[in-house]
Amino acid sequence: MLRASVLRLFSQPIRQTVYLRECLDTSAFPNTLKLYSTQTAVKEQPGTTVSEKEAEETRIGKRRPLENAPFIRELFLGRFAKEMLVYPEMTKEELEHLNQMVQPIEKFFNEGLDSKSIDVNAKIPDEVLQSLKDLGLFGQQIPEEYGGLGLNATEFARLAEITALDGSIAVTLAAHQSIGLKGILIAGTAQQKAKYLPKLATGEHVAAFCLTEPSSGSDAASIQTRATLSEDGKTFLLNGGKIWISNGGIADIFTVFAKTKVTVDGVEKDKVTAFIVEREFGGITSGKPEDKLGIRGSNTCEVHFDNTPVPLENVIGEVGGGFKVAMNILNSGRFSMGSSGAGILKKLIGMTCEHAVSRKQFGSPLAEFGLIQEKFAQMTITTYAMESMAYLTAGVIDLYEKPDVSLEAAIVKVFSSEGCWSCVNECLQILGGLGYMKDYPYERYLRDGRILMIFEGTNEILRLFVALEGMKYAGKELKDAVKIARNPWKNPGVAWKMYKKAVSRQFSSKKRNSENAVSVHQPYNSKLKLHQSLHNTLQYEALLLEGCTEAFQKVVEHLLITHGKEIISAQMDLAKVSNIVIDLYGMTACLSRSNRSYCLGLQNADHEIMLTKAFCKDATKRINTNLKEIYSGPVENNSENYEHIAQAVFKHGGYAASHPLERMW
């Protein structure tokens, strides 16, 4: 009934405000709705200074320090920060301004670009690079006082949707500002910022990020490049070689990571330090551009440093504090891969859709075949979840003074890189033979998108990172419980109870299924009461999310008890933990976003609700499978077999089975 009134009203903003107010007055809706209504309500009555002030405070409230513990880490303890169910939003003015910026970039990317020739010639033409610089795209997050655009994370994410449409350009831009100059931005001194940022903002100077070396990829702490302090203590001499450096051949400014000798408590140690290095300093050579599978127009090459003098004042952060700088840089950039991926997929879904409705086989358009419909649905759900997670994460970054979203950003990166890969693959499949041809952009997007799972932290490393960081967080709080469980003789009473519980979980298969699978409460016996933060229409999904959260917390405890410190090497379990938490974040983001859309009556909000319901259903199925596998242990879930099979392959130096035609006699 209420729903019907929304439908009738949703094209009229003024009435909609009235609708929201009514809901608030009758308390028919949860209090979170207030956040959406305040601003609209204020717009209507310019006289009401009091509520105006309130709204302003809510708005400025985005600069308060983070009060809550980080969302994903908290999930490991079964705690759910309900403010995540209030999807972040911009003010009307901010949005209009952002849309204004979107226009020329969209125009440029739709009309001024020949991505095919960039791919074929493996080079972005100089005029194109110049246009990108003139548009202002090289200084997106640099503050206005240094000549940049001063975009916040949400605005940056929005523009990334468009710049992602050409993979080579996207990576060139990302290498410059998401990693190349980010160190100066987040850890630089005032002098460093004043000296370097203005020219980087206009693109007069291009930046690169130099971490990877031949013997050091994922294991970034093992780098060999060395910086030795001169005798007068004023200059470091940099020596070593970096590989696969994006913009390595075109950059003027490099953020370089090198080992330096540091004395800690009287003991000399090698520690990583970050430096700002100008090509002008001398002793720098770049190799020839690598010939790559995708993002072929992005310049990737070796960079060598031969006694390059770097003044002491060019250290970023502290001497010996470089590893943390590197991790902070990487953590701060990853979230935008979600909007980039969504930007690509939204475009391809549109193009593929046109093909599916016009191409006929067996007398019908492809669009009428169930298997094709399934593909479109899956791609749309994935894109929706990707976009929802990306903007939720960006919103949190913008909302708090010192947000900790390192796990959230890693989740967005893993989900979106894999989502991109599988969805582009499906688009290509729907096109049939056409998709395989270079006259169409699908194969290029497939090749370009492949890098996303490798760089900025491989997806394996990031899965381990998310699971281990979360476990560590939970482990601290659960330390005592875990200790007792692992060493029962110290506290036999408590231990016996836990043991009984664990045994019953392990051995009674009936019970295992009921106790360890996700169970859905009724609203009245729900503990987290997530449904109270959401519209009634999402009540079931809210209860699903609660059930999944509870089951997740149990499995975390189970793993800590079974593995203890050895959890670090239980990689196959850790990946499952990560997969669960990725789905939990996806559910949260979809629920939060579609709830907002539905309550405000955005166009096609019904469709969003359906996407959310579908995502939650699929996610719960996946979570249940992961839970089952973890509880069933390495024998039943096959991980022990996997280990043995791999070991046999390594032992035999490759595929070890006999040829099927082989005979014994």
Question: Is residue 203 near another protein by the rule CB under 8 A?
Answer: no
Q: Report the partner that residue 282 touches, choosing among another protein, ligand FAD, none (CB closer than 5 to 8 A by kind).
A: none
Q: Is the dihedral of CA 460, 464, 465, 467 positive or negative?
A: positive
* Eight-state DSSP code of residue 64: B
CA distance 479 to 77: 12
Return the ∠ at Cα 547 (arms to 546 and 553), rounded to 5°. Answer: 90
Shortest Å, Cβ 433 to ligand FAD = 3
Task: Name which position in 19, 76, 244, 335 contacts ligand FAD (CB under 6 A).
Answer: 244
In the bound state with ligand FAD, the residue whose beta carbon lies nearer, of 56 and 460, is 460
Per partner kind, with CB cut-offs from 5 to 8 A, the member of another protein, ligand FAD, none near residue 12 is none
Q: State in angstroms the smallest separation of the CB of 198 from another protein.
A: 12
With CA atoms as reference, report the closest residue to 579 among 532, 629, 542, 539.
629
Residue 352, classed as helix, strand or coil, is helix
Residue 302 in tokens: 């070796």
Establish if 245 lies at the interface with ligand FAD (CB under 6 A): yes
Q: How far is the CB of 120 from ligand FAD (least distance, A)?
A: 18
Footprint of another protein on residues 592-611 (CB under 8 A)?
603
458 binds ligand FAD per the rule CB under 6 A: yes
* SS3 state of residue 543: helix
Q: How far is the CB of 485 from ligand FAD (least distance, A)?
A: 27
Options 358-366, 413-421, 572-580, 615-623: segment touching ligand FAD (CB under 6 A): 358-366
Site for another protein contains 401 (CB under 8 A): no
Residue 354 binds which of ligand FAD, another protein, none (CB < 5-8 A, kind-dependent): none
- Check residue 216 and report its DSSP letter: B
456 is catalytic: yes
Stretch that binds ligand FAD, among 25-33, 110-118, 335-343, 452-460 (CB under 6 A): 452-460
Which residue is listed with tokens 């729900």? 526
The answer to whether 100 contacts another protein (rule: CB under 8 A) is: yes
Q: Which does 100 bind (CB under 5 to 8 A by kind): ligand FAD, another protein, none?
A: another protein
Which listed residue (387, 426, 456, 546) is catalytic? 456
Burial 619-639 (b: 16+ CB within 10 A, else e): bbebbbebbbbbbbebeebeb
In angstroms, the CA 331 to CA 408 distance is 9
Is there binding between residue 165 and another protein (CB under 8 A)?
Answer: no
β-bridge pairing 300-311 and 284-286:
antiparallel
Phi-psi region of 244 (alpha: psi -120 to 50; beta: other; left: phi over 0): left
Residue of 103, 263, 364, 513 interacting with another protein (CB under 8 A): 103
Least Å from the CB of residue 357 to another protein: 14
Task: Select the binding partner of residue 369 from another protein, ligand FAD, none (C-beta < 5 to 8 A, by kind).
Answer: ligand FAD
Closest separation in Å from C-beta 257 to ligand FAD: 8
Neighbouring residues of 10: CB distance < 8 A, sequence distance ≥ 6:
16, 600, 601, 602, 603, 605
Question: Could you say whether residue 134 binds another protein (CB under 8 A)?
Answer: yes
| Residues 200 and 149 sit within 8 Å (Cβ to Cβ) | no
Cβ pair 206, 334 in contact under 8 A = no
The reply to whether 359 sits near ligand FAD by the rule CB under 6 A is yes
Q: How far apart are alpha carbons 132 and 161 in whole angstroms? A: 15
Q: How many residues does the chain have?
A: 665
Q: What is the four-CA torsion angle of 194, 195, 197, 203, rounded to 10 degrees? A: 140
Q: Does 147 bind another protein (CB under 8 A)?
A: yes
**455 is in the binding site of which of ligand FAD, another protein, none (Cβ under 5 to 8 A by kind)?**
ligand FAD
451 lies in the binding site for ligand FAD (CB under 6 A):
yes
282 touching ligand FAD, by CB under 6 A: no
Please calculate the CA angle 548-396-18 and round it to the nearest 5 degrees. Answer: 90
Rounding to the nearest 10 degrees, give the CA dihedral for residues 387, 388, 391, 392.
-160
Task: Compute the distance between CA of residue 487 and CA of residue 329 in angstroms, rounded to an integer.
Answer: 40
Q: Residues in the site for ligand FAD, rule: CB under 6 A?
A: 175, 209-212, 217-218, 244-246, 292, 300, 359, 361-362, 366, 369, 371-372, 429-430, 432-433, 436, 451, 454-455, 458, 460-461
Q: Residues in the site for another protein, rule: CB under 8 A?
A: 11, 96-97, 99-101, 103-105, 107-108, 112, 131, 134-137, 139-140, 144, 147, 149-150, 603
